[in-house]
C-alpha cells in the first residue's frame, strides 16, 4: 500500500510537494513556538540561581523582582545603608550583594554594586559570571559591561563612558564630570546581566556627590576612617546567600517584620514562578495561533486531495475493477495523507533545527530570545503525533468520496 501511495504521489509530485511545503512551514511555526515557550520559561527561571533572598524596600514581590533582577521599572523607596549593615549581621548569611539602581548609559541600566557581585552571582545551573575580556573594577572610576551593552555601544576595555541620571531610556542629566573607564566585559549569559552596566558603589556615590575621595577631602577630615563612611546613603536591593537553605523562611519572616524600616524579602525562585503564571495568557495565545496555522496547512492538504479526486476517478475505477475493496481505497487515500504529513513534519523539524543552528545567534542578538538545538522534547513528540492523527482523520472524507465515486462509475467514467 505504501509503495502504491508513493507512486501515486510521485505522479502528482508538484501538488504533493506544495502540500508538503505548507505542512512543513506550519510545523516549523508550531514547534518553534513550543520551543520558544519552553526554553524561554527555563531561561526565565534560571535568570538567577544560588541567591536565597532578595531584600528591598517595602513593595510588591513582582516589582522587587523586576527591578533587582530584570532591571525593569523603578522602586519608589530605598533601603538605608544602616539596614544593609544589619542584614550582613543576620545569622546564617554567607554573602551579600548590595545594588543601587536608577541611572543609565544610553538607555542601558546602570547597576552600582561591589566586586562580590562577580564572585557570588549565579545564573542557569549555578553558573558563575565569566569575563570575555578585562577584569572587575579596581576603583571607583571603573565599569564592567554586559555582553549586549558592549556589542550595541561598540565599547571595549579601556574605553570611556558617561553615566546619566534616569533609567528606561530617559536621561535627565549626564554625569560627565566623572566619566568611567571600562575595565572588563562579561561573557554572554542570555540573562538581563547582558544588558546592564556595572559600576562600584563608590563610583555612584561620587557622581551623586555622596562620596568624596580620600585625596580630595579637607585636611581636618583626613583623620576619619574612610571605611566607616558608606559610599552611598541608600540602596535599591540586596541579594543574600545563606549558609543553609532552610534558614530562608525564618530570615524572610524576620526581615519582613524588621522594625528599623519597612523591608520586603522574597525568595527569587518562588517569585519567578508566580510572575511566570501571569504570562500564561500570552503563552496560550501563541500556542493557539500556531495550532490554527497547522490546521490551515492540514486543510490545504485536504483541499488538494479533494481537488485531485476528479482527475483520479478512472484510477479509482480501475482499482475497483481488479478487486480493490473499501479497505484498499481507504488505505490508499489515508496512506497518501499520512505520507504527505510525515514528510511535512520531518522537513519541518529539519528546518527548525537548521534555523536554530544557523540563526540562533542572530535571533538572540535581534530579539533577545535564546534557543538551543536540544533533543526533541516529549511535548514536541505529542504535537507531531497529534498532527499525524489529525491528518489521518481528515483524509477519511476524501477516501470515502473516492470509494463512493468508484462504485458509481464502475469502468465507464464520463470525462
Contact 137, 117 (CB under 8 A): no
**Dihedral sign computed on CA atoms, order 349, 352, 353, 354:** positive
Which residues have CB under 8 Å from 220's CB, separation 6+? none
Retrieve residue 28's grid coordinates: 516549523
Placement of cell 559591561 in the chain: 145
The packing angle between helices 280-309 and 13-45, to 10°, is 170
Distance CA 32, CA 35 (A): 5
Distance CA 307, CA 305 (A): 5
pLDDT of 130 reads 92
Distance CA 388, CA 383 (A): 9
Retrieve residue 33's grid coordinates: 513556538
Distance CA 181, CA 155 (A): 10
DSSP 116-172: HHHHH-EETTTEEP-EEEE-S--STTEEEE-HHHHHHHT--TT-EE--EE-STT--S
Q: How many CB atoms lie within 10 A of CB 304?
A: 19
Contact 110, 103 (CB under 8 A): yes
Which uninterrupted H or E stretch holds 306? helix 280-309
Beta-bridge partners for 181: 142, 160
Angle at 38 between CA 121 and CA 286, to 5 degrees: 125
Q: How many CB atoms lie within 10 A of CB 129?
A: 20
Angle at 64 between CA 147 and CA 74, to 5 degrees: 70
Distance CA 394, CA 341 (A): 11
3-state secondary structure of 109: strand
Output the CA torsion 129→134→135→138 (10° steps): -150
Ramachandran category for residue 410: left, alpha or beta (phi over 0 → left; psi -120 to 50 → alpha): left
pLDDT of 370 reads 67
pLDDT of 102 reads 86
* Cα distances (angstroms) measured from residue 206 to each of 97, 118, 213, 280: 19, 21, 8, 43
Contact 248, 128 (CB under 8 A): no
Distance CA 356, CA 353 (A): 5
* Cα distances (angstroms) measured from residue 336 to each of 9, 207, 333: 7, 72, 5
Residuewise pLDDT in 10s, the chain (415 residues): 677 667 666 766 777 788 888 888 888 888 888 887 777 777 777 788 889 999 999 988 888 988 898 888 778 889 999 999 999 999 999 999 999 998 889 889 999 999 999 999 998 778 899 999 999 998 889 999 999 899 999 999 899 998 887 665 555 566 677 889 999 999 988 788 999 999 999 988 888 777 666 556 555 555 555 556 788 889 999 999 999 888 899 999 999 999 889 999 999 888 888 877 777 777 778 778 777 877 877 787 777 767 666 666 666 666 666 666 666 777 777 787 788 888 888 998 999 889 888 876 776 666 556 677 778 888 888 888 888 888 888 878 777 777 676 655 555 545 4
Q: How many CB atoms lie within 10 A of CB 278?
A: 9
Give the domain ranges of the chain.
2-44+279-409, 53-266
Amino acid at each position: 500500500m505504501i509503495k502504491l501511495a508513493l507512486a501515486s504521489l510521485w505522479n502528482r509530485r508538484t501538488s504533493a510537494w506544495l502540500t508538503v511545503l505548507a505542512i512543513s512551514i506550519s510545523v516549523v511555526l508550531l514547534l518553534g513556538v513550543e520551543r520558544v515557550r519552553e526554553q524561554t520559561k527555563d531561561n526565565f527561571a534560571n535568570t538567577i540561581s544560588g541567591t536565597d533572598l532578595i531584600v528591598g524596600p517595602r513593595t510588591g514581590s513582582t516589582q522587587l523582582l523586576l527591578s533587582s533582577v530584570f532591571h525593569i521599572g523603578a522602586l519608589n523607596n530605598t533601603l538605608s545603608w544602616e539596614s544593609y549593615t544589619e542584614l550582613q549581621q543576620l545569622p546564617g548569611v554567607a554573602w551579600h550583594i548590595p545594588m543601587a539602581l536608577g541611572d543609565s548609559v544610553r538607555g542601558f541600566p546602570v547597576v552600582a554594586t561591589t566586586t562580590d557581585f562577580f564572585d557570588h552571582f549565579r545564573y542557569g545551573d549555578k553558573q558563575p559570571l565569566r569575563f570575555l575580556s578585562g577584569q572587575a573594577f579596581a576603583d571607583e572610576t571603573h565599569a564592567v559591561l554586559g555582553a549586549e551593552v558592549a556589542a550595541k555601544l561598540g565599547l571595549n576595555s579601556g574605553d570611556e563612558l558617561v553615566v546619566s541620571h534616569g533609567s528606561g531610556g530617559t536621561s535627565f542629566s549626564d554625569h560627565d564630570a566623572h566619566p568611567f573607564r571600562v575595565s572588563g566585559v562579561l561573557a554572554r549569559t542570555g540573562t538581563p546581566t547582558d544588558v546592564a552596566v556595572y559600576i562600584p558603589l563608590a563610583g555612584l556615590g561620587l557622581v551623586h556627590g555622596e562620596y568624596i575621595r580620600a585625596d580630595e577631602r579637607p585636611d581636618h577630615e583626613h583623620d576619619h576612617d574612610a571605611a566607616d563612611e558608606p559610599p552611598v546613603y541608600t540602596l535599591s536591593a540586596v541579594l543574600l546567600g545563606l549558609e543553609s537553605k532552610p534558614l530562608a523562611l525564618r530570615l524572610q519572616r524576620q526581615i519582613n517584620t524588621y522594625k528599623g524600616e519597612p523591608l520586603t524579602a522574597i525568595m527569587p525562585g518562588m517569585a519567578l514562578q508566580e510572575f511566570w503564571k501571569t504570562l500564561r495568557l500570552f503563552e496560550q495565545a501563541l500556542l493557539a495561533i500556531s495550532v490554527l496555522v497547522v490546521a490551515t496547512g492540514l486543510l490545504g492538504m485536504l483541499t488538494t486531495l479533494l481537488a485531485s479526486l476528479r482527475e483520479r476517478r478512472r484510477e479509482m475505477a480501475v482499482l475497483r475493477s481488479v478487486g480493490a475493496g473499501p479497505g484498499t481505497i481507504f488505505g490508499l487515500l489515508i496512506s497518501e495523507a499520512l505520507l504527505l504529513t510525515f514528510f511535512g513534519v520531518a522537513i519541518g523539524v529539519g528546518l527548525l533545527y537548521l534555523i536554530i543552528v544557523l540563526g540562533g545567534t542572530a535571533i538572540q542578538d535581534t530579539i533577545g530570545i535564546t534557543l538551543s538545538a536540544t533533543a526533541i522534547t516529549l511535548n514536541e513528540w505529542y504535537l507531531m503525533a497529534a498532527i499525524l492523527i489529525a491528518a489521518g482523520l481528515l483524509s477519511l472524507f476524501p477516501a470515502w468520496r473516492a470509494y463512493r465515486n468508484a462504485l458509481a462509475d464502475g469502468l465507464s467514467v464520463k470525462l
